[in-house]
Every structure is written in structure tokens, then in C-alpha cells.
């Protein structure tokens, strides 16, 4: 899983972690650690 930070039209930090699957249970700790509750999330549209 890779997450990229986007600030004021520019790239910011990025985070990567090897995970076994893309279940919410596997992703949640990454989100809790690296994403502010007030952040606007942009996704690629994957519905999995």
C-alpha cells in the first residue's frame, strides 16, 4: 500500500507498507497513523 500526500498543489510525503491484503482491518492502522481526520481523501476509484 502506498499513500501520497498532496499539499497546495504539490507533492508532499509518501508512505509505504507491505500488507497481506486490502481489507479495512489491514488498512485502518495506516490511516489512523498518517491521515488527519480533517483531510480530504482522493482515491483512484477502486471499489474493492
Angle at 5 between CA 14 and CA 22, to 5 degrees: 65
Q: What pLDDT does 35 receive?
A: 81
Q: Which residues, in sequence order, are bridge partners of residue 46?
A: none
Per-domain residue ranges of the chain:
1-48
**Region 6-31 average pLDDT:** 80
- Whose CA is closest to 5, among 38, 44, 42, 37? 42
Q: What pLDDT does 41 receive?
A: 75
| Helix residue ranges per DSSP H, the chain | 24-34
Q: How far apart are the first and last CA of the chain?
A: 14
Contacts 24+ apart (CB under 8 A), 24-29: 27/1
Q: How much is the mean pLDDT over the chain?
A: 78
Q: What pLDDT does 3 receive?
A: 67
**pLDDT higher than 70, residue 26:** yes
**Region 4-17 average pLDDT:** 75
**pLDDT higher than 80, residue 29:** yes
Amino acid at each position: 500500500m502506498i499513500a501520497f500526500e498532496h499539499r497546495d498543489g504539490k507533492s508532499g510525503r509518501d508512505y509505504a507498507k507491505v500488507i497481506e491484503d486490502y481489507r479495512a482491518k489491514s488498512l485502518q492502522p495506516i490511516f489512523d497513523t498518517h491521515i488527519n481526520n480533517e483531510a480530504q481523501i482522493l482515491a483512484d476509484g477502486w471499489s474493492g
